């Protein structure tokens, strides 16, 4: 017996995936709404370098960490209260895939990989909120 798919069955199956395409941040990912603004410390996994500190007023910057401040087309693969996965395409500047998991509103893990300006990248880091933003920290 062979399985036959009808257009309605395909549409229902695709709808269940809850995939969203957008040009820029039109909707807020649920996990990002959980993340508190403030000064964050980012520690790249496997690196002996000192953690990077940044004042994060909008957690959306984590989605396109290697393509920050670029207008890219996004495709939301997963949008859960404590995790999200997004792929994005920045045309000639590259593309990427980012997965964000929140342990709490003050502790997250980010994995991102892709191509930025013709070169591959793969970064995984833990981030934790350490307080309010200090003057001069960006």
Mean pLDDT of 5-11: 37
Q: Which pLDDT score, from 0 to 100, does residue 70 have? A: 79
Q: Tokens for 116?
A: 């930025």
The chain-wide mean pLDDT, for the chain, equals 82
Is the pLDDT confidence value at 20 over 60? Answer: no
Q: Which pLDDT score, from 0 to 100, does residue 137 have? A: 58
Collect contacts of 108-112 with beta carbons under 8 A, ≥24 apart.
Answer: 108/31, 108/35, 108/62, 110/62, 110/65, 112/65, 112/66
Q: Which pLDDT score, from 0 to 100, does residue 119 have? A: 94
| H-type alpha helices, 1-136 | 7-17, 30-34
pTM here is: 0.76
Is the pLDDT confidence value at 18 over 60? Answer: no
Model confidence over 86-116: pLDDT tens digits?
999 999 889 999 999 999 999 999 999 999 9
């Amino acid at each position: 017996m062979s399985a036959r798919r009808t257009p309605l069955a395909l549409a229902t199956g695709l709808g269940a995936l809850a995939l969203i395409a957008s040009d820029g941040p039109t909707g807020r990912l649920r996990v990002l709404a959980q993340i508190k603004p403030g000064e964050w410390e980012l520690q790249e996994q496997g690196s002996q370098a000192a953690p990077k500190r940044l004042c994060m007023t909008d957690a959306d910057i984590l989605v396109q960490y290697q393509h920050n401040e670029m207008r890219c087309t996004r495709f939301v693969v997963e949008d859960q209260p404590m995790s999200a996965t997004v792929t994005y395409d920045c045309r000639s500047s590259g593309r990427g895939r980012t997965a964000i998991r929140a342990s709490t509103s003050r502790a997250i893990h980010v994995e991102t990989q892709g191509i930025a300006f013709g070169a591959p990248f793969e970064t995984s880091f833990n981030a934790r909120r350490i307080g309010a933003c200090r003057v001069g920290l960006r």
